[in-house]
Amino acid sequence: MVAVSLILLVVVISGRFVKYLAEAAAGKLAAEVLVSIIVYRLPGFLELILPLALFIGILLAYGRLYVESEMVVMSACGVSTNRLLSYTMIPALLVAMLVGAFSLYITPLGAARVEAIFDDPTTATGVSALAGGRFQPDDSGEAVTYAETVGGADQRMDYVFLSAREVDSEGRSRLTLTIAEHGYIRTDSASGNRYLELQNGYRYQGNAGERDFSAVKFQRMGELIHDDPDELGGTVESDGKSTSALLASSDLADVATLQWRLSLPLLVPVVALLALSLSRTDHRRGRFVKLMPAFLLYMVYLVSLSAARDAIEKGSIPVLPGLWLVHALFFLIALLLLAAPGWWQRRRYERQRAR
């Protein structure tokens, strides 16, 4: 389980790190926060990786015992399926408690810290921080920002250029160009709004080929960057809320998030039971023959939980039974898979005895 966890963790972190590097190269993310974001997201990765690692670990370990006929010897010595199940559930419950600690307490703290990094308007490490020497368009593509250099303790921007297409009071679209010697990010303490303060520059408004054109020289000018303080760290998404806050909330998104957090530790013993059922094999078929079907069954389980969570958020399904119905269904499948071979053997024995 530990070996599989390390491999999966390296794969997941590498993929996320490449994604964040691409955003940093595009100027959408400050490079100095990449490591912090990965560290804060680590508990969220582990809460999904550990159940899968335990599932694959049981399949590989018990599969080897079946292939090398060790399970036959153990069965002949009196080790029943129920006894093997009790041995399996001991580490599964330990992993479930660890996953529960991640999902209920540690992961929400990390998610809240990541949201603070992305949304905090008072730091220069937010996603809106400018990268020196690079033209940066906004999401709409209607505005472009450029600063030749960005740095220093106060994150001063030198030789700033802004280009944006705005609509005036008469409904006409006009191009606005602003150039300034220096610029700073300022936050209004009263409203929480963030401004780009420009110093010693010019502002031009108009469209090419038209006479309606204006030019203004200024010593100091403020450009509103964000006028909604609630989106700048004032509110926290459901994933970043504490479990106690989710328990006190009746919002569907919060209820779905709470059920998801409780589902992750509950997922562990169910997948351990599934792995024990699917690990049966012999030396002819090999230990890897059921690995792919078992993995597909696990993915169906996880995707079903995710789909049920989305359905609860949208109000498509009732809160109860909610995600618990998915757990009950796969727990029943695990019991059937575990009991089916013994039932089939008893049926064959009774038929032969009847003859």
Q: Which amino acid is at 268?
A: V
* Mean pLDDT score of the chain: 79
Q: Which amino acid is at 180?
A: A
Per-residue b or e along 289-310, where b marks 16 or more CB atoms closer than 10 Å to that residue's CB:
ebbeebeebbeebbebbeebbe
pLDDT at residue 243, rounded to an integer? 83
Output 126 or 67, whichever has higher pLDDT: 67
pLDDT at residue 25, rounded to an integer? 66
What are the beta bridge partners of residue 163?
A: 144, 177
Share of the chain above pLDDT 90, in %: 12
Q: What is the mean pLDDT of residues 110-132?
A: 61
In DSSP notation, 244-269 reads: HHHHT---HHHHHHHHHHHHHHHHHH
What are the sequence ranges of the domains in the chain?
2-120+236-354, 136-231
Confidence of residue 153 (pLDDT cuts 50, 70, 90): low
For 80-201, where are the alpha helices, taking DSSP H only?
A: 81-101, 107-119
CA–CA separation, 201 and 168 (whole Å): 22
Tens digit of each residue's pLDDT (9 = 90 or more) over 184-217: 877 776 766 667 788 888 988 888 777 778 888 9
Q: What is the mean pLDDT of residues 260-271?
A: 91
Kindly state the tokens that stand for 199.
Answer: 């110093």
Kindly state the tokens that stand for 76.
Answer: 């002949």
